Amino acid sequence: MTVTDIPTAVHVGVDKLPFVDLPDGSKLKVIQVKHGEGLWIVENVFRAGYEVQRHKHTGPVYAYTTSGAWRYKEYDDVNRAGSFLYEPANSVHTLQVLEDDTHVWFQIYGANLNLDEDGNVESVTDGTSALAVYLSLCEAAGHPRPHVLIG
């Protein structure tokens, strides 16, 4: 193997990917989408009182909290700055935000199946749909097209 064959690291500076406002009052940044692996990495900023619709994951999820606090309605544990959470595939829960300015970084494989009151799938969110929403909101906010890692 020669030096030119060695893959190089990819750096994405904090100023290269903007947060965009979502209609629900939270913020979204899509960092990477690998369609072939079903991987999507996002960072969200939530306000106290916000609740994500109850959902089921088709693959594992890794979450790291950098500020604020949140929990799952179905569990007692509270995720605070420095907390790491692993969610196995097929887990079902409802994310509740406890403090303003709650920042959470999610590495998600597969899709979120958003459930209605009876447990039926109401909608699906995956890397492709998250990326489409993000790019559209960036454009609407006047941001240049962000260099999300794709591949």
The string of pLDDT tens digits covering residues 27-70 is 999 999 999 999 999 999 999 999 999 999 999 999 999 999 99
Please report, in angstroms and rounded to a whole number, the separation of the first and last CA atoms in the chain: 23
Mean pLDDT of 8-15: 87
Helices then strands, each counted (H, E), the chain: 1, 14
Q: Which residues contact 107 (CB under 8 A, 6 or more apart)?
A: 39, 41, 61, 62, 63
pLDDT at 13: 86
15, pLDDT greater than 90: no
pLDDT at 54: 96
pLDDT at 3: 67
Q: Give the chain's domains with CATH numbers.
A: 23-150 (2.60.120.10)
Mean pLDDT of 139-148: 95
pLDDT tens, residue by residue, 65-87: 999 999 999 999 999 999 999 99
Are 107 and 84 within 8 A, CB to CB? no
The contacts found for 26-29 with CB under 8 angstroms, 24 or more apart, are 26/50, 28/130, 28/133, 28/134, 28/137, 29/134
Q: How many CB atoms lie within 10 A of CB 46?
A: 26
pLDDT at 69: 98
3-class secondary structure, 15: coil
1, pLDDT greater than 70: no
Given 3-state DSSP classes, what are the helix, strand and coil percentages for the chain, each rounded to the nearest 5? 15, 40, 45
pLDDT tens, residue by residue, 124-139: 999 999 999 999 999 9
